[in-house]
Amino acid sequence: MADEFTHFDSGGGAVMVDVGDKAVTAREAVAEGTIRFNRGTLALISGGGAKKGDVLGVARIAGIMAVKKTADLIPLCHTLLIDSCGVDLTVDHEKSAVKAVCSVRLRGKTGAEMEALTGVTVALLTVYDMCKAVDRSMTMEDIHLIEKSGGKSGHFIQGKTA
């Protein structure tokens, strides 16, 4: 693990990391998060009864669009050419929740962690937006990186030590 932050210069000013000398490698990142509802809200989503339409379909597209716009949202992120991106949303009736998982693949000089995390977050925010008229008690929880591979720092899997 690096012992210092990379986004600051010697004077403490914020800078974009110079990746010019880094090798282009295959990179992948996977992130996930959960949104919890009251049971009535989940029934509306599952049954297609939400007034704004297909909640999970719209959230999936929003998550993919967010991946492509990450550098516009997070000031020091590099613009990346995404090879593939997927956002999967799974309904968990027992927990009255929807889990979002975002996978991002690319070939580049820097990783895709921020893109995967942004995709999950915007997908969950979209679910919230589409359901807030019937449930303002929703909570978004446990948004985190599950796995990343490629680049100098190697392979990371949540909960496993290298």
E strand spans, 3-58: 25-36
Decide if 21 is catalytic.
no
How far apart CA 112 and CA 118 sit, in angstroms, is 10
Radius of gyration of the chain (CA): 18
How far apart CA 104 and CA 116 sit, in angstroms, is 6
Tell me which of 83, 88, 129, 135 is the catalytic residue: 129
Is 29 within 8 Å of 157 (Cβ atoms)? no
Catalytic residues: 129
